[in-house]
């Protein structure tokens, strides 16, 4: 069996930055074992599979890390919409409806930017039982909890950039992973990084789902409903956020870097 596959760098306009995702547009059902095996072979933070649902005028979308299927992924959703438009599965400016494990997600392109309507992820302040006030030599000023993950606010953007975590300790003391964040610098409102060793990703380059929680976290702290965010991984990525009641509008760009076939 041969399957077309495309690699997209998401949340960036430059190749070799942002977050890479492998995208497969499929006309026939693949098994979970097949999808997980392809994701393991691609060895990117996410591989996404899009299947057309003719009866409902929608598309099913599933995301896999190299080790597990996950409930929500921003950058691979953005990349999927980008590939669909370029391949003729969708038209520029029209709304794409994705059916996912996190409910229906609406996505549309707006010129060079792609806009995604995602659920706001609720956070609540809670002290971490292990890290307390220190995260690998960096002071933690505030902590919050969300399903499967933690948010640690550090003193400033430089602390986020220079943090060097021990991934074994992060793995042992989190369910999925840990988001670190701080007020931004330059033109950005916030900085962040995401470490997810328990889902097969020591550090995710740019993380859409984390920003669904960061929007809630920073809105509760500052009251700002629009944020320009930078994820300060080595690859780096820019995300624009807007809170609309219990939803988050996430805007980003994407660029194609590779296309081919996978045979199995």
Residues with a known catalytic role: 46
Three-class HEC string of 203-216: EECCCHHHHHHHHH
Query: CA–CA distance from 123 to each of 182, 194, 219 (Å)?
Result: 16, 16, 11
3-state SS, 138-150, equals EEEEEEEEECCEE
Total length of the chain: 264
CA 218, CA 222: separation in Å to the nearest integer?
6
Report the distance separating Cα 181 and Cα 250, nearest Å: 18
């Amino acid at each position: 069996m041969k399957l077309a596959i495309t690699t997209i760098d998401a949340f960036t306009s430059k190749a070799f930055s942002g977050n890479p995702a492998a995208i497969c547009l499929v006309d026939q059902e693949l098994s979970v074992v097949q999808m997980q095996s392809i994701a393991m072979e691609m060895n990117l933070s996410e591989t996404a599979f899009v299947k057309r649902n003719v009866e409902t005028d929608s598309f099913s979308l599933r995301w896999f890390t190299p080790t597990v299927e996950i409930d929500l992924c921003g950058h691979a959703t953005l990349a999927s919409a980008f590939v669909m438009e370029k391949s003729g599965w969708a038209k520029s400016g029209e709304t794409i409806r994705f059916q996912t494990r996190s409910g229906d997600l609406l996505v549309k392109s707006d010129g060079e930017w792609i806009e995604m309507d995602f659920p706001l992820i609720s956070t609540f302040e809670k002290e971490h039982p292990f890290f307390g006030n220190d995260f690998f030599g960096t002071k933690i000023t505030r902590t919050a909890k969300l399903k499967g993950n933690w948010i640690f606010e550090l003193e400033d953007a430089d602390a986020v950039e220079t943090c060097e975590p021990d991934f074994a300790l992060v793995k042992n003391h989190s369910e999925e992973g840990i988001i670190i964040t701080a007020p931004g610098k330059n033109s950005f409102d916030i900085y962040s990084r995401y470490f997810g060793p328990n889902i097969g990703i020591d550090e995710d380059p740019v993380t859409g789902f984390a920003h669904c929680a960061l929007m809630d976290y920073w809105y509760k702290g500052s009251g700002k409903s629009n944020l320009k965010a930078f994820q300060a991984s080595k690859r780096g990525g820019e995300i624009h956020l807007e809170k609309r009641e219990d939803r988050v509008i996430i805007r980003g760009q994407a660029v194609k870097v590779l296309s081919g076939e996978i045979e199995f």
